[in-house]
């Protein structure tokens, strides 16, 4: 039996038309509730951000040049399924786990809603659903993948802006696509998280962006907090040593 390759998403924002079919297909398949009919006043984006009930989020960014021309950037954001996933590292119950597809998934029958994964994620993806108490995020349609299907969002995407497949194939394809887009004159085009050389050791979901990551609300230098954990424990050991020294000193000077 062939080994299962790591699966991924390549989201090519240069051909995203902002239709939000991915958001809708995700909600339909995963049974996610609407999170309010709120008018955010942010271009055509009324989803705003990824959250417990929004596992895909199409960002709309309107840029106006000095000459008054308007450029419209659209990008469908999603959980990055990091190689070094801080959410998974800090989860105390083992509810978050690494699947056979290399993705990161919450087991909702185990999660006890401690909330640690929420501030651990360097992208602000995972969120606790307050009426439910547990944490939720994109599973890269774990159930569909186990049945040999592609995730709902990539299946619904009408322009192939969201591509699903073995990660190493997607990475090769993305390099070719970047060269094409640059040859067509997109100066700011770049790949985001398309290799292992970043603070999260690579990502199962990566992007072709037309501007700096910050423009899309993505961190330019994300870092898995757990990379610094050993040093923190060393400082804690030093602090524990200080407590022992303090108690010893307190008794050394005892003149009862």
Partner 1 sequence: MLKPPVWKPEIAWYFFSGGLSGASAVLALGARVAGNRALARSALAGSLLGAAVSPPLLISDLGRPARFLNMLRVAKPTSPMSVGSWVLAGFGGCAAAAAAGEFLGLLRPLGRLAEVGAAALGLPLSTYTAVLVANTAVPVWHESRHELPIVFGAGAAASAGALATLLTAAPDSGPARRLAVLAVLVEVAAVAVMEHRLGPLGEPYREGRAATHKQVGAVLLLGGAALLALGRRRRLALSLGATMVLGGALSERFAIFRAGNPG
Shortest Å distance, C-beta 78 to partner 1: 14
From the CB of 146, what's the least distance to partner 1, in Å? 23
Based on CB atoms, which residue is closest to partner 1, 149 or 240? 240
Residue 111 CB, shortest distance to partner 1, in Å, is: 7
What distance in Å separates the CA atoms of residue 209 and residue 87, rounded to the nearest whole number? 25
Cβ proximity to partner 1: between 93 and 175 the closer is 93
In whole angstroms, how close is the CB of 117 to partner 1 at the nearest point?
10
Residues composing the chain: 256
Strands 96-98 and 104-106: antiparallel
Q: Which residue, 12 or 127, has its beta carbon nearer to partner 1?
A: 127
Q: Which is nearer to partner 1, 97 or 142 (CB)?
A: 97
Assess contact for 231 and 238: CB atoms under 8 A: no
Q: Which is nearer to partner 1, 4 or 107 (CB)?
A: 107
Min CB(97)–partner 1 separation in Å: 10
Task: Indicate the residue among 18 and 124 with the shorter CB distance to partner 1.
Answer: 124
CB of 139 to partner 1, least distance (A): 18
Indicate the residue among 1 and 244 with the shorter CB distance to partner 1.
244
Three-class HEC string of the chain:
CCCCCCEEEEEEHHHCCCCCHHHHHHHHHHCCCCCCCCCCCECCECCCCCECCECEEEEEEEEECCCCCEEEEEEEEECCCECCCHHHHHCCCCCEEECCCCCEEECCCCCCCCCCHHHHCCCCCCEECCCCCCEECCCCCHHHHHCCCCCHHHHHCCCCCEEEEEHHHHHHHHHHHHHHHHHCCCCCCEEECCCCCCECCCECEEEEECCCHHHHCCCCCCECHHHHHHHHHHHHHHHHHHHHHHHHHHHHCCCC
CB of 54 to partner 1, least distance (A): 12
Residues that bind partner 1 (CB under 8 A): 49, 86, 89-95, 110-116, 118-128, 130, 132-135, 217, 223, 225-226, 228-229, 231-233, 235-236, 238-240, 242-244, 246-251, 253-256
Residue 157 near residue 26 (C-beta atoms within 8 A) = no
């Amino acid at each position: 039996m062939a080994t299962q390759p790591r699966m991924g998403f390549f989201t090519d924002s240069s051909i995203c038309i902002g239709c939000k079919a991915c958001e809708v297909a995700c909600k339909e398949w995963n049974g996610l509730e609407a999170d309010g009919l709120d008018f955010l006043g942010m271009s055509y984006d009324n989803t705003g951000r990824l959250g417990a009930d929004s596992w895909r989020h199409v960002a709309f960014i309107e840029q106006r040049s000095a000459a008054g021309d308007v450029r419209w950037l659209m990008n469908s954001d999603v959980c990055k399924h990091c190689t070094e996933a801080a959410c998974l590292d800090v989860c105390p119950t083992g509810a978050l786990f690494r699947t056979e597809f290399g993705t990161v998934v919450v087991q909702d029958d185990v999660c006890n809603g401690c909330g640690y994964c929420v501030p651990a994620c360097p992208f602000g993806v995972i969120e606790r659903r307050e009426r439910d108490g547990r944490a939720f995020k994109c599973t890269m349609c774990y159930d569909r993948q186990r049945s040999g299907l592609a995730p709902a969002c990539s299946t619904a995407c009408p322009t192939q802006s969201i591509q699903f497949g073995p990660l190493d194939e997607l990475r090769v394809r993305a390099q070719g696509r970047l060269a094409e887009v640059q040859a067509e004159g997109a100066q700011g085009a770049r790949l985001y998280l398309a290799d292992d050389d970043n603070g999260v050791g690579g990502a199962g979901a990566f992007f072709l962006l037309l501007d700096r990551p910050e423009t899309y609300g993505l961190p330019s230098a994300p870092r898995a907090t757990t990379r610094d954990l050993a040093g923190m424990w060393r400082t804690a050991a030093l602090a524990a040593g200080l407590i022992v020294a303090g108690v010893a000193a307190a008794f050394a000077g005892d003149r009862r």
